[in-house]
Amino acid sequence: MNAIKSALRDIYETKDLLGFLENEANAPCRKIITPFGAIQLVPAELVIVERILSAYYPAPDTNARDTAKKMMAVCLKEQTPVDWKEVERLARLPAFGVTKELRELKAEVSRELETAD
């Protein structure tokens, strides 16, 4: 329990360091109240697209790619609700431009999930 409190305290204390957050998603940020204050969570759709962008640009990044794949797997298994049409819309935005990468990575993760079952 102390580890959880410590982690929440760390998140709460550093959240203001992030400053203004651009949210291109149609969904608003979610607010969670913790014992240490409120935390704003970015929509999963936006985080997936940002991770895909980071996985490929400005240079390939295996850590960001692995994170994107893990997030997509959780969403494809419907453990976390996600609006895939919104993910596609965000990927098409000029700020991201990762539609091809999204589709390729989603297909890869889908294949991996099928063979894992």
Long-range contacts made by residues 8-12, C-beta under 8 angstroms, separation at least 24?
8/34, 8/35, 8/36, 8/39, 9/36, 11/39, 12/36, 12/37, 12/39
pLDDT tens digits along 56-94: 999 999 999 999 999 999 999 988 888 999 999 999 999
Q: Which residue type does 58 have? A: P
> 105 and 90 share a domain?
yes
pLDDT (mean) for 31-38: 81
Residue showing tokens 């431009």: 97
> 68 and 52 share a domain?
yes
Q: Under 8 Å CB-to-CB from 9, ≥6 apart: which residues?
A: 36
> 52 and 78 share a domain?
yes
pLDDT at 31: 74
Helix (H) or strand (E) holding 103: helix 99-116
> 48 and 95 share a domain?
yes
Domains of the chain: total: 2
pLDDT at 16: 45
> What range does the domain containing 57 cover?
44-116
- Max avg pLDDT among 1-5, 35-39, 83-87: 83-87
